[in-house]
Amino acid sequence: MNRMSARLAACAGLLPLAVGPAAAANSDKAYQLATTIGPIIEKCWIKSNDPAFADYIYSPEPNASSGPRILIVPRKNPAAAPALAIQINPEGTHVSVFGRLAESPQAGRISADLKRWLAGGSECS
């Protein structure tokens, strides 16, 4: 298991991801994790013209005080509540996924994609 590995606990609502203890030793882990998976999310979900994400844009927050966040927000109203939020705790040991897309028919795919990307993969589904 590499440093980017994680486990998805569930597909609906809040999707906690636990990152192994070796990753917690690196104080920059949360930022590194966000800046690694963020561009993959943007490439595979937003810029790929994927119909499931056509109404959304990518909005990274790598320096949020509660830990880096990757937000998927409505294209027509970027100030609205995120449709999907991927929150990485400051230590980089826990990732939570929440928002209406996490409870949508896309939840399984979102879960599988994130699991693959957190394990070090970068391919789109």
Question: Total structural domains in the chain?
Answer: 1
Average pLDDT in the chain:
80
Instruction: Answer yes or no: pTM beyond 0.85.
Output: no
Tell me whether residue 1 is in a domain.
Answer: no
pLDDT at 122 over 80: yes
pLDDT at 112 over 60: yes
**DSSP per-residue codes, 18-51:** EEPHHHHT-TTHHHHHHHHHHHHHIIIIITT--G
Tell me whether residue 40 is in a domain.
Answer: yes
pLDDT, tens digit (0-9, with 9 covering 90-100), for 56-108: 999 998 777 778 899 999 999 999 999 999 998 888 778 899 999 999 999 99
**H or E segment to which residue 118 belongs:** helix 107-118
Give me the domain span that covers residue 90: 6-117
For residue 103, with 0-12 CB atoms within 10 Å meaning exposed, 13-18 middle and 19 or more buried, which class applies? middle
